[in-house]
Amino acid sequence: MSVYRSALLRFADNGRALYDEDGLLAIGPDAQGRQRVLAAGSWQALGAQYADQPVTHLPGRILAPGFVDMHIHFPQTEVIGSPADGLLPWLENYTFPHEKRFAAPDYSAQVAQFFIAELLRNGVTTALAFSTSHPASVNALFTEAQRQHLRLITGKVLQDRHSPDGVRDDTEQSLIDTEALIQRWHGVDRLGYAITPRFAPTSTPAQLRGAGELAARYPDVWIQSHVAENLDEIRWARELFPRSRSYLGVYDDFGLMRERAVYAHCIHFDDDDRALMRDTGAVAAVSPTSNLFLGSGFFDYASADRVGFRYGLASDVGGGTSFSPFHTMMAAYYVGREGQTKPGLSLSPQQLWWQHTAGAARALGLGGVVGNLQPGCEADVLVLNPEATPLLARKTRQARSLDELLFALIVLGDDRVVEQTVIGQQGANQRAT
């Protein structure tokens, strides 16, 4: 058992942040040996119960749940920061040429090692990631995530048309490979599989139909894809699937809308699309740095809440411009405030933080498992330094409320704030940043 005394951040079921300036966090193994939160709360209320245990005291630090990234591209680690005129030219000129390299197991393994290390350095302990169309990329990423005990969901990209040689796959073989990868990796340790059509225009109806059949055969795996990100992309999807009610409707027509289905972006929706998300249990991965970088548009928070479908935050590296959840939360604030193309609102610091931790976990179907530090959760813990830089220290010392403290971290924070990332299965073995 490990007992920590420090400031402590966690979340109630309604998304409200719970904060103890003098908190206690106790971690210990469950019956399977996985480290979980045993107790969390104020030191005054809980300290006497652990009087016989050694205590790690972390003055001036905040214990917080590991971040959950709902959409990120592992093979685009080195594509980040590439200039382009928009989504489709960016894919053609940078993404597809680079992804060809992941046919090589050695290259996939080398990038996977860097990618997982970068997630941990930024405090991301759960991620839903794209691999490439090559099974070697999936095997490499799962292998490294398993070695580092990261909770990771990924899958082989399905793209059997409108893709260049080297990334385009064969319809039948792509589905055979997907099922084999599900059977090899899904549910092993902290790993999960996601059936992964890249986006509707790059899959034939036969491939989408096969993906839907796999989704029905394996209801506990995830589904991930992109939808309604870019107006040119939407026009293309409508031309290719004229019988579908909308771009989102394409996925519904092929059995790819259900719980554990995660669609990145979801920007250019109408209320029928929003209702379809709500009614099927599908969720949105909001990717604000990517949407701002590529000029795709702005996620409509007010309309999503009005209709009532779930969402969480995502970096979307490499269209996204940073692995840092602090940068993603700041960009989400900008996107929420934009009021020219949609209703504008100011997302509270607690709501932003929730979207990248417990709220994202709930959207993924992992509520009460990750993204929080409530009893029973897997013990993925961040040690945050609210004085990591001189300006941040000056600002956080003046914070008069939890909202002011959290917002200062969002606006001024980056990877330097994440002093340590403690992965649940490693217990007290801390990963230095």
Structure-token pair, residue 298: 């702005």
318, HSE (Cβ side, Cα atoms, 13 Å): 20
What's the pLDDT at 104?
A: 96
As a whole number of angstroms, the distance between CA 41 and CA 63 comes to: 11
What's the pLDDT at 269?
A: 98
pTM over 0.75: yes
239: which residues sit within 8 A by CB, 6+ positions away?
none
pLDDT averaged per 10 residues, the chain (length 433): 96 96 96 91 96 96 98 93 79 87 96 98 98 98 97 98 96 98 97 98 98 98 97 96 98 98 98 98 98 94 98 96 98 97 96 98 98 97 98 97 98 97 61 40
Question: What does 34-53 look like in DSSP terms, one character per residue?
Answer: -EEEEEEEEHHHHGGGGTTS
The maximal CA–CA distance of the chain, rounded, in angstroms, is 68
- Residue 314: what residue type? A
As a whole number of angstroms, the distance between CA 224 and CA 211 comes to: 11
As a whole number of angstroms, the distance between CA 211 and CA 85 comes to: 31
SS3 call for 281: coil
Residue of 158, 179, 155 whose CA lies nearest to 168: 158
Structure-token pair, residue 157: 């990209």
SS3 call for 87: helix
- Residue 237: what residue type? A
75, HSE (Cβ side, Cα atoms, 13 Å): 32
What's the pLDDT at 426?
A: 56
Neighbour tally for 176: CB within 10 Å = 12
